[in-house]
Structure 1
């Protein structure tokens, strides 16, 4: 893929061969999707980073950079998740600690990679999967995500039912 002068937003030298973002040159690669998507999203408002004369820590700058990551961290450490971790710890003691550490590390890696993909391409992970995969793998991914959502919502619903039962004096 040859980058034209109008597509030189990624700091790539004009006329350089290869892909724009270091990926393979297959038709429909992530690099081509990124260049096309940047062109289509030129009118999207950008996050305004507040200017301040103060050199040190600024809560406004932190909030501007945190954004969706803050919401994701809250969703990742919700009360239902913490409670299920505590209950697993009570029954299995330290035998499953390796699993908790491994799952947390893998979750961090996946979130970091998706954030990088989002910054580079301007697309979220679902949009990229839609553009890159054919229909059957997309349906399989969708079903797997639905099963995961049902599994996580099940503990929330059961926990709410138990809490209401206890709060209503076991009526």
Structure 2
């Protein structure tokens, strides 16, 4: 099995990047890629009665400030599966505080999903969809006695800049 963390970021980065899905849309199970075993394992069940609002995973060959690959939430009309590799277009970024530390979630759409062909920035989405995403990330750890706080949305340009920064961090650590 390949090391998913070191898969290429994607030929069109940062405009189009690879996303490795860990958690399919609608799940209450939190799967994580285990880099020692090179498998996707069940980390835990969410303590709250909420489910992931999109396919959730990471962008390979990136390293964010929390020591993990950069998180990505992919808007999909049907869930995929853990280990699925998607080519996605970043359309924004949700900034938040997780356990007192800054955390970023890249919001993306599949490049081959006709529903999102004309979506290039998160501001073109239905406002209620953005509220659902914010709500999920603000409460999903609450019953674990962990705190999260939403800082706000940033546009596609800022999302692409974050991807490049995290790609550079990965390159520095692995050179």
Q: Does the TM-score normalized on the shorter chain lie above 0.5? A: no
- Greater per-residue helix proportion: 1
Larger radius of gyration: 1
TM-score by length of 1: 0.26
User: RCO higher in 1 or 2 (8 Å CA, sep ≥ 6)?
Assistant: 2
Task: Identify, as 1 or 2, the structure richer in strand.
Answer: 2
